[in-house]
């Protein structure tokens, strides 16, 4: 049996609910429901349950203190063929470090390297047929956007269950950060 796994930070529910108010005005956008919003630290892909257990042990060994994080601005992936619309994250060395620690955990188990540079973001929509101009308009509209800072006091290992509609994510394990 295998699971599609990733490590992520989940912003507070109230903040995710409020972000729904920003999710409008982009043709071809399939907006993510509040429950799905997260900041991915490391995508692990399809893994055997034994690897999942080993990963859980490695992630639980990460020692980090809690930190404040803030969503800021917006952007998109896919350049001239936009695929993903996201909110950005204000610069955070602690976030970079936590993502690097999750990557190290994966590499200790011999998982394939991620390949891409870590670009912290919170995906708000997947796009189909959306023009770069539409994305640019959304990004301009959110240029001054900044959420209130929120405390990251844990991260989690999620399994992703791809469905016809929005994927369903399940927290398999939670890792508290030090107070
Ligand atoms: P769906 O694929 O059904 O549209 P999804 O992309 O939200 O939904 P997953 O593909 O399981 O679900 O991805 C889970 C998380 O991992 C998402 O945040 C996604 O952006 C991220 N992710 C997926 N694939 C990669 C990858 N190859 N590299 C980095 N992050 C990835
Ligand atoms: Mg995907």
Q: Which of 167, 171, 172 for mutating ligand 1's site (highest number of atoms within 8 Å of CB)?
A: 167
Q: How far apart are alpha carbons 95 and 101 in whole angstroms?
A: 10
Strands 2-9 and 154-161, by their bridges, are: antiparallel
> Following CA atoms 74, 41, 45, 18 in sequence, which dihedral angle do they give, to the nearest 10 degrees?
-50
**Domain residue spans of the chain:** 2-152
Measure 178 CA to ligand 2 centroid, in angstroms: 31
Ligand 1 pocket, residues with Cβ under 6 angstroms: 4, 6, 40, 43, 114, 116, 123, 126, 160, 162, 167
Identify the residue whose C-alpha is closest to ligand 1 atom 7.
167
pLDDT tens for the chain, 179 residues long, are 899 999 999 999 999 999 999 999 999 999 999 999 999 999 999 999 999 999 999 999 999 999 999 999 999 999 999 999 999 999 999 999 999 999 999 999 999 998 889 999 999 999 999 999 999 999 999 999 999 999 999 999 999 998 777 789 999 999 999 99
CATH architecture of 2-152: Alpha-Beta Complex (3.90)
Q: How far apart are alpha carbons 167 and 49 in whole angstroms?
A: 20
Measure 42 CA to ligand 1 centroid, in angstroms: 10
What's the pTM value of the predicted model, to 2 decimals? Answer: 0.96
């Amino acid at each position: 049996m295998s699971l599609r796994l990733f490590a992520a930070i989940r912003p507070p529910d109230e903040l995710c609910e409020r972000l729904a108010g920003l999710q409008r005005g982009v043709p071809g956008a399939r907006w993510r429901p509040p429950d799905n919003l997260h900041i991915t630290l490391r995508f692990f892909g399809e893994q055997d349950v034994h690897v999942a257990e080993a990963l859980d042990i490695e992630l639980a060994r990460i020692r980090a203190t809690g930190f404040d994080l803030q969503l800021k601005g917006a952007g998109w992936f896919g350049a001239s063929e936009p695929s993903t619309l996201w909110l950005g994250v204000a610069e955070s060395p602690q976030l970079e470090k936590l993502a690097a620690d999750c990557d190290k955990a994966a590499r200790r188990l011999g998982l394939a390297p991620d390949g891409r540079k870590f670009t912290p973001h919170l995906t708000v929509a997947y796009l189909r047929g959306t023009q770069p101009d539409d994305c640019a308009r959304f990004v301009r509209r959110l240029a001054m956007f900044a959420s209130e800072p929120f405390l990251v006091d844990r991260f989690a290992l999620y399994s992703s269950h791809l469905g016809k509609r929005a994927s369903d994510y399940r927290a398999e394990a939670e890792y508290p950060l030090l107070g």
